[in-house]
Amino acid sequence: MTVGSVDGSGAGSGRDAEGPGRGRGLISPRRGPVPVPLLVPALVGLAFLVLPLVALLVRAPWSDLPDQLTSPEVWQALRLSLLCATAATVVSLVLGVPLAWLLARVDFPGRGFVRALVTLPLVLPPVVGGVALLMALGRNGVVGQWLESWFGVSLPFTTAGVVVAEAFVAMPFLVISVEGTLRAADPRYEEAATTLGASRFTAFRRVTLPLIAPGIAAGAVLAWARALGEFGATITFAGNFPGRTQTMPLAVYLALQSDPEAAIALSLVLLTVSIAVLAGLRDRWMSAS
Amino acid sequence: MRGAEGRKRAKKAVGSGAGSTAGAGSTAGAGRSGAGLDARLVVRRGAFRLDVGLRVVPGEVVALLGPNGAGKTTALRALAGLEPLADGYLRLDGAALERTPPESRPVGVVFQDYLLFPHLTALDNVAFGPRCQGASKAEARALAAEWLGRMGLAEHAGAKPRRLSGGQAQRVALARALATSPRLLLLDEPLAALDARTRLDVRAQLRRHLADFEAVAVLVTHDPLDAMVLADRLVVIEDGQVVQEGTPGDIARHPRTDYIAHLVGLNLYKGVADRHTVRLDAGPAITTTEDLTGPVFVTFPPSAVTLYGERPTGVSARNLWRCAVAGMETHGDQIRADLTGELPLAADLTTVAAAELGLHTGAEVWAAVKATQTHAYPA
CA dist., res. B241 & res. B69, Å (int): 12
Q: What is the pLDDT of residues B154-163, one digit of tens each?
A: 999 999 999 9
Considering CB atoms only, which of A186, A195, A210 is closest to B102? A195
Optimal mutation site among A195, A202, A209, interface B, most CBs of chain B within 10 A = A195
Q: For residue A83, which of A227, A263, A286 has the smallest C-alpha distance? A: A227
Q: Which CATH class is domain B21-255?
A: alpha beta
| pLDDT of the residue at A16 | 44
User: Are the C-beta atoms of residues B305 and B357 closer than 8 Å to each other?
Assistant: no
User: Are the C-beta atoms of residues B153 and B206 closer than 8 Å to each other?
Assistant: no
The DSSP H or E segment spanning A132 is helix A126-137
On chain A, the residues whose CB falls within 8 A of the CB of B82 are: 191, 194-195
Average model confidence (pLDDT) across chain B: 86
Pick the CATH number of A69-286 from 3.30.505.10, 3.40.50.970, 1.10.3720.10, 3.40.920.10: 1.10.3720.10
User: Are the C-beta atoms of residues B16 and B282 closer than 8 Å to each other?
Assistant: no
Chain A CB within 8 Å of residue B102 CB: yes
Average pLDDT, integer, range A138-166: 89
Q: Is 90 exceeded by the pLDDT of residue A86?
A: yes
| pLDDT of the residue at B22 | 38
Query: Which stretches in chain B have pLDDT values below 50?
Result: 1-32
Q: Is 50 exceeded by the pLDDT of residue A85?
A: yes
Q: What is the pLDDT of residues A50-79, one digit of tens each?
A: 999 999 888 888 888 888 788 887 888 888
Angle at B164 between CA B73 and CA B213, to 5 degrees: 50
Optimal mutation site among A189, A194, A196, interface B, most CBs of chain B within 10 A = A196
Q: What is the pLDDT of residues B60-84, one digit of tens each?
A: 999 999 988 899 999 999 999 999 9
Q: What is the pLDDT of residues B279-335, one digit of tens each?
A: 888 778 898 888 889 899 999 999 999 999 888 877 665 788 989 999 898 877 889
Model confidence at A29, pLDDT cuts 50, 70, 90, reads: low
Single pTM value for the model: 0.76
Give whole-number Cα distances, A202 to A183, B130, B283, in Å. Answer: 19, 13, 63
CA dist., res. A144 & res. A132, Å (int): 12
ipTM above 0.90, yes or no: no
How many Cα atoms sit within 13 Å of A134 on the Cβ side? 15
- Structural fold of domain B266-378: OB fold (Dihydrolipoamide Acetyltransferase, E2P) (2.40.50)
Residue count (chain A): 289
Angle at B83 between CA B78 and CA B89, to 5 degrees: 45
| pLDDT of the residue at A14 | 42
Question: Taking a contact as any Cβ pair under 8 Å apart, which residues of chain B between 167 and 186 contact chain A?
Answer: 176-177, 180
CA dist., res. B257 & res. B11, Å (int): 8
- Domain edges within chain B: 21-255, 266-378
| pLDDT of the residue at B232 | 93
On chain A, the residues whose CB falls within 8 A of the CB of B104 are: 197
| pLDDT of the residue at A27 | 60
Burial of B342 from C-beta contacts in 10 A (0-12 / 13-18 / 19+): middle
CA dist., res. A190 & res. A178, Å (int): 16
CB pairs under 8 A between A and B: 58
* Chain A residue nearest residue B83, CA to CA: A191
Residue type, A285: W
Q: Answer whether A195 sits within 8 Å of B103, measured CB to CB.
A: yes
User: Are the C-beta atoms of residues A103 and A114 closer than 8 Å to each other?
Assistant: yes
On chain B, the residues whose CB falls within 8 A of the CB of A202 are: 132
Q: Answer whether B132 sits within 8 Å of A207, measured CB to CB.
A: no
- Domain edges within chain A: 69-286
Q: What is the pLDDT of residues A87-136, one digit of tens each?
A: 999 999 999 999 999 999 888 999 999 999 998 988 899 999 999 999 99
CA dist., res. A195 & res. A53, Å (int): 55
